[in-house]
Amino acid sequence: MIKLEKVSKVYPDGTEAVKEVSFEVEKGELCVLLGPSGCGKTTTMKMINRLIPITSGKIYLDGTDVTQVDENKLRRNIGYAIQDIGLFPHMTVGQNIETVPVLKGWPKAERKERAKALLELVRLDPGEFTRKYPSELSGGQRQRVGLARALAADPPTLLMDEPFGAIDPITRIDLQNEFLKIQQEIRKTIVFVTHDIYEAIKMGDKIALMKDGRLVQYGKPADLVYRPKDRFVEDFIGADRALKGLQLIRVKDVMDASPPMVKADEKVMAARERMMTQEVDWLGVVDDNGKFLGWVSRADLESGEMVRDIMVSSSIVATVNMVLNEALSLMLSSALNSLAVVDKDNRLEGVLTFDDIRRGLSEASQGEPE
Amino acid sequence: MVEAWEFVVQHPDKLAEWTLSHLWLVFVAGGIALVLGVSLGLYISGKGRERIAETVLYFAEIAMTIPSLALFGLLMILLAAMGLKAIGFLPAVIALIVYGQLPIVRNTYIAIRQVEPAMIEVGKGMGMSERQILFKVTLPLALPIIMAGVRNALVLLTGIATIAAFIGAEGLGMPIFRGIQNNRMDLIIVGGVTVSILALLVDGLMALLERRVTPKGVKKR
């Protein structure tokens, strides 16, 4: 748990970078510090691990005043990830990840083991990447390593300063989704700085919106989108509130979770029967392990013997943890009215239609999206 | 030329002796210059020491412009006044240390300054102490440029050490000095050519070392 009590930062020249900011981040929660550049969000974050000294106020980490702890010890127990410039260029990926474990004096074997596990967690092959240097990696791969390094000593708390800032939009979306998936497993208490409103709504359990060093509104993303406190919040969220609302909802929350399906190795006859009984015009086709292969529609049923022969293969899929505007964008760009929704092993979990999206959105804007 | 070669063949021991004492002089002076120069460079590259840095670099540059003979002469007077040995090895070493300072201090300063502040902040953010940041982050990243300065200094010292013969320090300056006094062309050539070869060797060796210490991840191409 992180607690800020009337925290201020005044520089010797009189500049007030942060003014009496108070908020609390619950254990296992991701709190986004959001705001235009110069609003004090990064300063606020850096005061938590004391990279910037606090002028007045208190910051507690799991109940302990951070100024009462040795600063190096404090920092070794707080994961720290910044934009991709953060990797040490003279160290290999493995050495980078082992930085904090080395500082903490872990035995070598344990360090190596941990680095390997972390690379697997961020989906990089340890055999291939451990000995590579940051300059040999792509932007997205560097971000993954940066995340692995921040997690190396398994700190309960993470500070992340625009960790997905310096990469292309498509890779960024992938990384955000993967990170959310990882966060569901590891449940760290995270303070995450960004100026990207979409990223904030998507990633945050809570958002702290700042302006000119002050905390303007603190709450759930839905609160900011649907219940802005003042004009500034409203303007910052922007006019396209409905579109931002799409960021609040995940595919798994609105999809049809029991889609009609048929196995590729079944007879066409079986598919026809299923369409009749379930009153649908199409079926999702899966293999024996439930992995999604493609579609078969009523019109395809005229010929062939096995479903495999007549199905239309498709690799365009949404994943369960995608937010709705990603799914919508996928629909629009692929000109599909419905998307297959798969889990991380590509197993068919549901189907998402345009109507599902519309329904989800109208529910969210009226009720409390809990 | 022929006489010079004959001299080499007839007195290989002499040539070896000069070469070795020459190298020893460069080695001792270079070693001390390295420790001193890098320390000084590290010190002046610290935060808030920009003014000191300017002053130090200014004096180092001035020191470079003092003719070596004049500096040797000055040192002789100084050392004599202090009651120390005024000719031979000691003043030579001191003079060479002074000459070695500029390239080493300047390169160390530049090398440390070019390390990205973000790198240092990340080190700090992960809980490294000042010392750990210096040895794990700053120095490895600065090492290639520092080494380039050391290489520069050593080649320079190899040349200047020749003049140390004028104040009685042993080395390859001796045959040249004697050659000039006795009109012995062969001695001048032997000394001159050997010093040149030595300088090239030192340069090549240091280039190799420079490549070795460059961290793999930051090598250009």
Domain boundaries, chain A: 2-248, 252-366
Residue in A349, A192, A178, A343 with CA at minimum distance from that of residue A255: A349
**H or E element in which residue B139 lies:** helix B139-160
For residues A210 and A163, what is the distance between their CA atoms, to the nearest angstrom? Answer: 19
Whether A100 and B126 lie within 8 Å, measured CB to CB: yes
Q: Is B129 part of the contact surface with chain A (CB cutoff 8 Å)? A: yes
Strands A2-10 and A348-353, sheet pairing:
unpaired
Q: Is B141 part of the contact surface with chain A (CB cutoff 8 Å)? A: yes
Separation in Å, CA of A366 to nearest CA in chain B = 43
DSSP labels, A35-103: -STTSSHHHHHHHHTTSS--SEEEEEETTEEGGGS-HHHHHHTEEEE-SGGGS-TTS-HHHHHTHHHHH
Q: Which chain A residues touch B122 with a CB distance below 8 Å?
A: 80, 82, 86, 88
Tell me whether residue B220 is in a domain.
no
Supply the CATH number for residue B60's domain. 1.10.3720.10
Locate all alpha helices (DSSP H) within A211-265, ordered by sequence.
221-226, 231-237, 241-246, 251-254
For residues A164 and A151, what is the distance between their CA atoms, to the nearest angstrom? Answer: 16
Whether A99 and B121 lie within 8 Å, measured CB to CB: no
Whether A90 and B217 lie within 8 Å, measured CB to CB: yes
pLDDT tens, chain B, 221 aa long: 777 787 777 888 888 888 999 999 999 999 999 999 999 999 998 878 888 988 888 888 888 888 888 888 888 888 888 887 778 888 888 888 988 888 999 999 999 999 988 899 999 999 999 999 999 999 999 998 999 999 999 999 999 889 888 887 888 888 888 888 888 888 888 889 999 999 999 999 999 988 888 877 776 53
Tell me whether residue B20 is in a domain.
yes
Tell me whether residue B199 is in a domain.
yes
Tell me whether residue B221 is in a domain.
no
Partner-chain residue, chosen from B118, B127, B137, that has the shortest CB–CB distance to A103: B127
Separation in Å, CA of B143 to nearest CA in chain A = 11
Locate all alpha helices (DSSP H) within chain A, ordered by sequence.
41-48, 71-76, 93-97, 99-103, 108-121, 126-129, 139-150, 169-186, 197-203, 221-226, 231-237, 241-246, 251-254, 268-278, 307-310, 324-334, 354-366
Structure tokens at A355: 């109507």
For residues B85 and B53, what is the distance between their CA atoms, to the nearest angstrom? Answer: 33
Tell me whether residue B16 is in a domain.
yes
Which superfamily does A2-248 belong to? P-loop containing nucleotide triphosphate hydrolases (3.40.50.300)
Query: Per DSSP, what are the bridge partners of residue A3?
Result: A24, A60
CB-hemisphere CA count at 13 Å for A96? 33
Residues B170-214: pLDDT tens digits? 888 888 888 888 888 888 888 899 999 999 999 999 999 888 888
Q: Is B140 part of the contact surface with chain A (CB cutoff 8 Å)? A: yes
Range(s) of the domain holding residue B19: 2-215
For residues A134 and A93, what is the distance between their CA atoms, to the nearest angstrom? Answer: 6
In chain B, how many domains are there? 1
Whether A103 and B116 lie within 8 Å, measured CB to CB: no
Smallest CA–CA distance from A47 into chain B, residue: B125
Separation in Å, CA of A86 to nearest CA in chain B = 6
**What average pLDDT does range A129-135 have in this prediction?**
92
Other residues' Cβ atoms within 10 Å of the Cβ of residue B210: 17
Yes or no: is domain A252-366 CATH 3.40.50.300?
no
Residues A178-232: pLDDT tens digits? 898 889 888 999 999 998 888 998 899 999 999 999 999 999 988 888 888 888 8
